[in-house]
Amino acid sequence: MNLVATAAVLDDDPPLLSVRGLGKSYGGALGCRAVSFDLWPGEVLGIVGESGSGKSTLLNCLSGQVAADAGEILYRDRMGATADFLTLPEPKRRALLRGEWGLVHQNPRDGLRLRVSAGANIGERLMAQGARHYGDIRAEATGWLSRVEIDTARTDDLPIRFSGGMQQRLQIARTLVTGPRLVFMDEPTGGLDVSVQARLLDLIRGLVDELGAACVIVTHDLAVARLLAHRLMVMKGGEVVEAGLTDQVLDDPHHPYTQLLVSSVLQV
Amino acid sequence: MNAPDTGYNFAYLDEQTKRMIRRAILKAVAVPGYQVPFAGREMPLPYGWGTGGIQVTAAVIGADDTLKVIDQGADDTTNAVSIRRFFQRTAGVATTTETEKATLIQTRHRIPEARLGEHQILVYQVPIPEPLRWMEARESETRKMHALAEYGVMHVRLYEDIAHMGRIVKSYDYPVRVNGRYIMAPSPIPKFDNPKMDRMPALQLFGAGREKRIYAVPPYTRVESLDFEDHPFEIQTWSEGCALCGATDSYLDEVVTDDRGGRMMVCSDTDHCDKRRAAGHSGPMAAPYGETPR
Ligand SMILES: Nc1ncnc2c1ncn2[C@@H]1O[C@H](COP(=O)(O)OP(=O)(O)O)[C@@H](O)[C@H]1O
Ligand SMILES: [Mg+2]
């Protein structure tokens, strides 16, 4: 039984994020449909399912990368005000994405500025929020490089020269530096060597825990989901077929599709 | 109205085009630092020659104006001479090299050293009007960034300078914030001239021909150069004064004096230098005033 998730669910606090009836189709093709869930502060929600099941579409709708065509995304901000992300005016949406929200792309190259130094990549969000003391910005940047286990001697190097694993860790530092309350990650360990994956997962788990950020993580890898997520949503053909506490879903799956997913993992 | 010796309209542009440019200028003055698009005209000069500035000048110049044109601070370069001639011919206006006597000054690369007054307009020729372009290629995105004042990337650039070089090395076209709002590219003037833009009594107009943008800084408007608290904005300084007039507070250019590697530092603003020498100031390399050709 996952204690953190239980505590969160039992808490009287209203959810941080309430998604209702979210849907998106690409022309005639279904991306995702009728997705509803709540996310509480500090909670990590995993979205699992086979390739093409709509996980990325859902995450992209949630994080404003793709325009949803149905539903609501109710977000309760730092001031306690709740608004539908989908109908917020663009300036407010962009301000959220720069401040209270964070997005970690599957491909770190999509989330980094490859032509400025690692330090500047981390400092950008701070500067965008008004930080104007070079020494402080740099101290934050090197502090975060250490936290994501990148040698601070690389602070002034361009990320284009980093390995894939380092780029991903840099992207995570760049996103978390301003202490976002809600973080979206799409296959954060996808495309990395297995040897690198485990360490990165530990790192993500530690940081998310430490910052108390709520997190929505997309993964096709159930081992990743078990390690990181308090709760899971299982997607198939664009719809959520099962949801619950991670251990319950993985150890006692109810939906036949989930049973198939779990058993195929066990066979590997 | 026709100009004296040409078949062209006064100041070359037709009245309808001038009205269109004036509307853009009014808008630019109303929203200091904001780049207003305008339907630029083809001018009888290539783009690099300041067609944006020329169109702005043509739209605001009147028959009783006195025009000064400078390029790198000098009135006698090819570019400055051809623009001055262009308006002499097409508008029949008086021209001058003396900053104080000019009512309209078109410039490339410099702001005159003499403090400008309320009766004057300074027109800048701008090659690249968009200060965010280096980071963001999409025009739709830079427009949004300006609209929402998303200016974090401007400091990223200064951060990079300090990280790699230990100080902010950007020395021309140094970005400024106008009236506490829009970030603006001041055109390739040296950062030495940035403080002169701040609360300048003269109206400052900027014309970019290729990109078809006009922007403005109205008189007495706040213009701040971007910086960090612990790396404050600084202007260029020199260890010695002007070799000809001895000025220690003007922008100096290095000039080659012979074919044996001889060099000296002299005022880039030739009018300023001449005035000082006429008033009896002199530097180490100066022959008595009136005897050295410049
Ligand atoms: N940009 C797109 N245009 C058209 N169809 C798309 C696009 N992106 C995803 N799809 C389709 O939507 C469905 C869900 O895809 P996706 O959200 O990428 O799934 P997952 O991330 O689970 O692999 C798939 O059928 C996919 O082909
Ligand atoms: Mg995907």
- Tell me the CA distances in angstroms from B33 to B180, B183, B232, one per residue in order: 10, 7, 22
CA distance A71 to A37: 12
Ligand number nearest to the C-alpha of A187? 2
DSSP 3-state of A183: strand
pLDDT of residue B2: 45
pLDDT class for B176, splitting at 50, 70, 90?
A: very high
Atom of ligand 1 nearest to the CA of A27: 4
What does the pLDDT look like over B84-118, one tens digit per residue? 999 999 999 999 999 999 999 999 999 999 999 99
B143 lies within 8 A of chain A by CB: no
What does the pLDDT look like over B14-28, one tens digit per residue? 999 999 999 999 999
pLDDT of residue B77: 92
Q: Which residue of B has its CA nearest to A118?
A: B160
Asked if B21 and B43 touch (Cβ cutoff 8 Å), the reply is no
CA distance B42 to B44: 7
**What's the average model confidence in pLDDT over B164-179?**
96
Closest approach of B219 to chain A, Cα-based (Å) = 28
pLDDT of residue B49: 78
What does the pLDDT look like over A203-243, one tens digit per residue? 999 998 999 999 999 998 999 999 999 999 999 999 999 99
**What's the average model confidence in pLDDT over B134-138?**
88
What does the pLDDT look like over B216-266, one tens digit per residue? 999 999 999 999 999 999 999 999 999 999 999 999 999 998 889 889 999
| Helix residue ranges, H only, A40-133 | 55-62, 90-98, 108-111, 118-128
Least confident of B36-40, B121-125, B234-238, B245-249: B36-40
DSSP 3-state of B51: helix
DSSP A160: G
CA distance A213 to B32: 41
Strand order, beta sheet including B176-178? B182-184, B176-178, B223-225
Left (φ > 0), alpha (ψ -120 to 50) or beta: where does B166 sit? left
pLDDT of residue A1: 40
Q: What is the whole-number distance in angstroms between the Cα of residue A128 and the centre of ligand 2?
A: 29
pLDDT of residue B43: 80
Length of chain B: 294
Number of Cβ atoms within 10 Å of the Cβ of B198:
15
Complex-level ipTM beyond the 0.85 threshold = yes
Q: What is the whole-number distance in angstroms between the Cα of residue A54 and the centre of ligand 2?
A: 7
A162-165 long-range contacts (CB < 8 A, ≥24 apart) are A162/A118, A164/A108, A164/A191, A164/A192, A164/A196, A165/A192, A165/A193, A165/A196, A165/A200
**What's the average model confidence in pLDDT over B137-153?**
93
Contacts of residue A184, Cβ cutoff 8 Å, sequence gap at least 6: A59, A62, A63, A101, A102, A103, A104, A215, A216
Count CA atoms within 13 Å of residue B43 on its CB side: 29
pLDDT of residue B292: 53
CA distance A91 to A64: 12
Contacts of residue A70, Cβ cutoff 8 Å, sequence gap at least 6: A21, A22, A23, A24
Contacts of residue A188, Cβ cutoff 8 Å, sequence gap at least 6: A104, A106, A168, A172, A200, A204, A217, A219
Low-confidence spans in chain A with pLDDT less than 50: 1-8, 267-268
pLDDT of residue A10: 53
Closest approach of B150 to chain A, Cα-based (Å) = 7
Q: Give the residue, out of A24, A25, A26, with the most ligand 1 atoms within 8 A of its beta carbon, to mutate for a pocket test.
A: A26
A129 lies within 8 A of chain B by CB: yes
pLDDT of residue A191: 80
DSSP 3-state of A264: helix
Task: Judge if the beta carbon of residue A57 lies within 6 A of ligand 1.
Answer: yes
Is the Cβ pair B163, A156 closer than 8 Å? yes
Q: Which of A117, A240, A228 is nearest to A183 (CA)?
A: A228
Active-site residues of B, by number, are: 33, 242, 245, 267, 273
Q: Which of B7, B39, B9, B42 is nearest to B22 (CA)?
A: B39
What does the pLDDT look like over B61-82, one tens digit per residue? 999 999 999 999 999 999 999 9
Q: What residue type is A241 in one-letter code? A: V
pLDDT of residue A194: 83
CA distance B122 to B179: 18
CA distance A43 to A234: 17
